[in-house]
Structure 1
Amino acid sequence: MSEAESVLRHRAWKASAAEDDARPSLPEVHASVSVPRGGSWIRRLLAFTGPGYMISVGYMDPGNWATDLAGGAQFGYTLLTVIMLSNLMAILLQALSARLGIATGRDLAQACRDHYSRPVNIALWIACELAIIACDLAEVIGTAIALQLLFGIPLIAGALITALDAFLLLLLMNKGFRFIEAFVIALLVVIATCFAIQIVAAAPPVAAILKGFVPSPEIVTNPAMLYVAIGIIGATVMPHNLYLHSSIVQTRAYERTEEGRRDAIKWSTADSTIALMLALFVNAAILIVAAAAFHETGHADVAEIDQAYELLSPLLGLGIASTLFAVALLASGLNSTVTATLAGQIVMEGFLRLRLPNWARRLITRGIAIVPVVVVTALYGEKGTAQLLVLSQVILSMQLPFAVIPLVRFVTDRRKMGVFTIPRWAAVLSWTVAGIILVLNFKLLFDTVLG
């Protein structure tokens, strides 16, 4: 190759890279949802309602079920405080994620690519992909278990069937982003309704529930309780959701001015906060039902979803309780499919500038998740699958620092955020949350290695 050809090729590469850098996040739906320029506050809130519920899906996916069931059955209502605190962490971090996306016009993956060296970006991308695979693992297991409970389909066959959901997002995307949001919200309503009925049937003692929201030192001193607690945090504060939220808030066609961005941040924060309170209700409901039905009746060893399904109806005295449980689980698995696919696309495009068709991206990720489920089920049966489900949530927790630290660093950087830099008190609080996550992860590693 001549020197002139080399120069031309380098210029073409730079021009292509510059074009990629200017490309908005999820360009096919960027600024595709109209926002009213005036009107009542309810109209403006409804215009921004949707992204928050999509990210809330990750906070009540099948992985949460495993950790919440184990926590409620083994330790009663004690870990309710962990669910509440982790949900408050999620509200803060998702608000920061939305602020970053709206203020800079870049999603978290793009912001990392702009700021860090290529080796660091590759490491962050690998960590995020591991988190997405761990989340997908939970979805495969949860959906396969739901299919088995409802229709008697064997676990391995159910896991293979989940590969077909690669085409669900394609169908929804073709109908527009608002249709995706409506689909997600409808399934969330199904999940919440199923658990509301089960809580009424369980009739748990209110005093014990309230006491469960008070922090207990035993959570840190008891290694078994800490393991489940960190699993709950990993299942609640989902690392890839931070990438997802910073992107999908940009689907709104708000004015790209300081005033327009400030308004968008306000309504997007309200949207995610309200949606995550629904996630808090669902997660708390799973643990409360498990505590009332299993812990208080001497079934503290219940940690598997199929065990819970078999015991719920007889223990609660409600014939439909087990069916409601399985229906909610299936809805949860389907919902998580949509958001995990979008998160994977955002991460791959943001870090690597690599664009794959949605169906190819989905099949690759889902294929990676299906293999360990099939292998573990074949070798160890359903018990091994249940342990794999809890382990996937701990893996998610271990990936959290790789998403949280860059996010907090960016939103506290005035050079990136300008007038939208978070105030000092919020910065202190954000770094404190990041520190808590780091300490808990190191504690888990220390106990796991020594144990």
Structure 2
Amino acid sequence: MENNTLVARFIAKLKVIGPGAIIAASFIGPGTVSTATEAGASFGYALIWAILFSLVTTMILQGMASKIGIVTGSGLGEAIRDQFKRPVLKYITVTVVGISIATGCAAYMAGDLTGGALGLTLITGIPQNYIAPVLGIIILTLGLLGTYKFFEKILIVLVGIMSITFITTMVVVQPDVLAVFEGAFTPSIPSGSIVIIVALIGTTVVPYNLFLHASSAHERWNSPADLNKSRLDIVITIGVGGLITAAVLITSAAVMRGTDVTGIEQLAVALEPTLGEWATVFISIGLLAAGFSSALAASMGAAYTIGGVANWGTGFDNPRFKTVFIIVISIGVITSATGFEPLELILFAQALNGLILPIIAIFLLIVVNNKNLLGQYVNSIKLNIIGGLIVLIVSALGIYSLVEAILDFITEV
């Protein structure tokens, strides 16, 4: 009887899962898979701590964003717009936020579609630039016909598929458990690892996810009494997302240590001695789910952001919202059809993300300290200190990403 009660409580807690799963589905894209693969192959288990750090950072920032949506009944875009009363300042803010987020989403969209297409390419042999546009058209069709709750369910299922695929693979390869714990709780920065550390954090803490979470939390809950449900949702889903990322890194460290990674598909080859013919199937399913879920979330993120800051309204029943959704997907479809390498697109998106994140994080902190907007639910001093430290860290990472991008461009030219 007691066991039945515990099971019932556990199931009841799982029912809060929703907006957080959308965020997890968003950041576990091909970029995360490729970065985690390279991290494990190059540095073994040493960089697991960076994943833990990025998870804590994500939980804190997404918690602030979801609180804005639940308490105010509007999204982060609307809150930022209403924060500034002077027309000129409001116009500049809206323009900077709107263009930067839309550009970032479009870049991620192209990389996600191409990376997701790689999953089917590994099985069928059909070129990625043929498959990627088809995936984009499927997402476009779903967007025109679906609702928020429909998308929420799809993304929860995709997170479940990725969990089963990547975590099962990690268990099968039997990693060194002691080394895993050492890498998780003993931070170190091996020579040449700083770029990978920046990338691991950058693929998890994504600017448009803050807008997406505020709006999706409002779609799901509409009372401050639901804040605890939102926090539980964040802890469970973002935690699972981090476990998936860690599973990819750990698997790569176990079977690819010392390998020079040039493509995500190498992980499938490295797993063949352990999984046999199932190696390609496992990695293909994981990549397809990662690309599809992240591309879907990117287009939603762009629509919620632009709809909010432009004061157009949000929701899948809003024509302007759907127009932004369609435009972002169309850009991804066209770009992915040209045959660009997914890693190039993803690296561009990550560099752009590094520039945008500090700006959005600062706006977020300003809004969550507005008593006229949030009343008693404004940030505590402790949370502001933590938030301030996060802004400093992501600003440093953003500057570093910019410098690296410029140097890489100069080198290529």
TM-score range, shorter chain: 0.7 to 0.9
The question of 1:309 aligning with 2:293 is answered no
- Deviation larger for 355-364 or 365-374: 355-364
The offset of 1:43, in angstroms, is 8.1
Partner of 2:283: 325
CA–CA distance in structure 1, aligned partners of residues 330 and 227 of structure 2: 37
Task: State the partner residue of 1:287.
Answer: 249
Distance 1:416 1:215 in 2: 41
**1:20-99 correspondence runs (5 A):** 45=13, 48-99=16-67
Q: Specify which of 169, 181, 191 is matched with residue 198 of structure 1.
A: 169
CA–CA separation in structure 2 for the residues paired with 1:251 and 1:205: 43
1:445 maps to which of 394, 402, 407: 402
Cα distance per residue 1:200-245 (max 9 Å; x no partner)? 22111011111111354525xx4x4222211111110111110011
The equivalent of 2:98 in structure 1 is: 125
Contact 1:239 1:396 in 2 (8 A): yes
**Cα deviations by residue, 1:259-280 (Å, 9 ceiling, x for unpaired):** x41x211111111111001001
TM-score by length of 2: 0.87
The CA distance in 1 between the partners of 2:79 and 2:321, in whole Å, is 22
Equivalent of 2:227 in 242, 265, 272: 265
Is the CA contact 1:234–1:397 (under 8 Å) kept in the aligned structure 2? yes
1:335-346 mapped onto 2 (5 Å cutoff): 335-346=293-304
1:303 to 1:80, Cα distance in 2 relative to 1, 3 A: farther
Q: Tell me by how many angstroms 1:160 deviates.
A: 2.2
Q: Which residue of 1 aligns with 2:368?
A: 411
TM-score (norm. length: structure 1): 0.80
Residues of 1 paired with 2:401 and 2:220: CA distance?
40
- The Cα offsets for residues 57-95 of structure 1, whole Å up to 9 and x where unpaired, read as 112122211111111111111221111100110011111
Indicate which of 135, 138, 151 corresponds to 1:162: 135
Letter of the 2:303 partner, please give it.
Answer: Q
2:309 alignment partner AA: F
Residue aligning to 1:276: 238
User: 1: distance between equivalents of 2:178 and 2:367?
Assistant: 42
Q: CA deviation at 1:426?
A: 0.8
Whole-angstrom CA distance in 2 between matches of 1:251 and 1:214: 37
1:328 is displaced (CA, Å) by: 1.4
2:26–2:295 CA contact under 8 A, matched in 1: no
Pairs aligned (count)? 390
Output the amino acid matched with 1:61.
Answer: G
Q: 1:154 to 1:447 in 2, by over 3 A?
A: closer
RMSD: 2.3
1:107, distance to aligned residue in structure 2 (A): 0.8
Residue correspondence of structure 1 range 174-185 to structure 2 within 5 A: 177-185=148-156
1:140 to 113, 116, 121: 113
- 1:201 and 1:253, CA in 2 relative to 1: closer, same or farther beyond 3 A? closer
Distance in 2 of aligned mates of 1:118 and 1:42: 47
| Structure 1 residue 449 displacement after superposition | 4.3
Letter aligned with residue 266 of structure 2: Q
SS in 2 for 1:305: coil
Q: Counterpart amino acid of 1:266?
A: N
The code of the aligned residue for 2:396 comes to V
| 2: CA distance, partners of 1:418 / 1:196 | 42
CA distance in 2 between partners of 1:362 and 1:135 (Å): 14
For residues 339-395 of structure 1, the C-alpha deviation after alignment (integer angstroms, 9 at most, x for no partner) is 223222211211123464566433421232344444453xxxxxx433333332232
The answer to whether the 8 A contact 1:69-1:304 is kept is no
The separation in 1 between residues aligned to 2:380 and 2:323, in whole angstroms, is 42
Identity of aligned residues (%): 25
Gaps of 5+ in 2: 1-7, 85-89, 313-317, 409-413
In the alignment, which residue of structure 2 is the partner of 1:211?
Answer: 182
8 Å contact kept, 1:341–1:358: no
Which residue is 2:382 aligned to? 425
Deviations 1:104-156 (A, max 9, x none): 22211111111232012101111111221122122112122112112221122
Q: Which residue of 2 aligns with 1:362?
A: 325
The equivalent residue for 1:434 is: 391
Q: Which amino acid aligns with 1:269?
A: R
Deviation at 1:100, TM superposition (A): 1.1
The 8 Å contact of residues 111 and 343 in structure 2, kept in 1 or not, is answered as no
Residues 125 and 396 of structure 1, relative CA distance in 2, 3 Å threshold: same
Q: Which amino acid aligns with 1:188?
A: V
The 1-side partners of 2:320 and 2:119 are apart by 29
Q: Is the 8 A contact 1:66 1:389 kept in 2?
A: no
Pairwise CA distance, 1:442: 1.7
Q: Check 1:433–1:389 CA distance in 2 against 1; reply closer, same or farther (3 A cut).
A: same
1:400-437 CA distances to partner (integer Å, 9 max, x unpaired)?
Answer: 11221111111123232210011111110111111111
